[in-house]
Amino acid sequence: MASVEKKLNQEIQHLIVKHLKSGEKLPTEKELIQRYGVSRTALRDVFAVYEAQGVIESTQGRGRIAKMPDLTQQVINTWGIALELNPELLFDILELRTIVEMSVLPRVAQRMDTDQLQYMGMLVESMKSKAKKGDVFAEEDRAFHMTIFKNVGNALTEQLLTALWTLLNSQIATRHPDLEAVAAQHEDILRALVRQDLDALQKSTSEQLADVRYRIMMGMLQNSGESAG
């Protein structure tokens, strides 16, 4: 029985690889049951494993499709639980983000196109406008960094940076004590990208990451004080 399950698993794996073109539909359950001579339950058990891994998606009206796995949500789910148990892991997550993000900046500076820079300029102007009114700009902040991450030239690196950014921003306070300073940080990064000034880009990015570290520390001190009280 185990050998039958193993063979079915291998066949489905080969099938997924064959259909991994974006959004390509897999054969129906009926076709696969007839092809491999297995039960519907056995087939669905195998599919469930691959769906959990993110390489198969069940869609309404289209059946199952093969897709490239996205580790973003997997990292968020796994480390989100770990952070609940040990909030100090935020420093490890920030260190990893710093190492990865700083290493890809040269590539980002070269790949960023005019449309993306104009879009980021609009985001920065919105940040500055909201900051003057004392309003947070979480959506603009996320869109700004996601645009940067899209230009790292590596899908796995993009997914990892997206996950790390999301984890950090979900754990630190959304309201910064100086919103205008944060908007200015983003403007400095944008100016460096426009000029393709790598030194300035590394400096402005490093300063922003240092600010994230400070906010983590302040948040932990605040939580520690509340617990003691």
Task: Find the domain containing 57 and state its range.
Answer: 2-66
Q: Domain check: are 22 and 91 in the same one?
A: no
The pLDDT value given to residue 11: 82
In CATH, what number is assigned to the domain containing residue 42?
1.10.10.10
The pLDDT value given to residue 1: 45
3-state helix, strand, coil in the chain (%, to 5): 75, 5, 20
Q: What is the pLDDT along the chain (229 residues), one digit of tens a residue?
A: 457 677 888 888 887 777 666 567 888 889 989 988 888 998 888 888 888 777 888 887 778 888 777 889 889 989 999 999 999 999 999 999 999 999 999 999 999 999 999 999 999 999 999 999 999 999 999 999 999 999 999 999 999 999 999 999 988 765 567 899 999 999 999 999 999 999 999 999 999 999 999 989 888 877 766 655 5
Residue where one domain finishes, among candidates 66, 86, 101: 66
Looking at residue 62, its amino acid is R
Q: Which residue has the tokens 């609940």?
A: 84
Question: How many domains in the chain?
Answer: 2
The pLDDT value given to residue 21: 62
Q: Domain check: are 146 and 176 in the same one?
A: yes
Measured at the alpha carbon of residue 26, what is the angle toward residues 24 and 30, in degrees to the nearest 5?
155
What is the Cα–Cα distance from 26 to 14, expressed in whole angstroms? 11
Please name every residue paired with 59 in a beta bridge, in sequence order, or none if there are none. 63
What is the Cα–Cα distance from 157 to 118, expressed in whole angstroms? 24
Q: Domain check: are 51 and 96 in the same one?
A: no
pTM over 0.85? The answer is no
Q: Domain check: are 142 and 31 in the same one?
A: no
Q: What is the secondary structure of 157-224 as a DSSP string?
A: HHHHHHHHHHHHHHHS-SS-S-HHHHHHHHHHHHHHHHHT-HHHHHHHHHHHHHHHHHHHHHHHHHHH
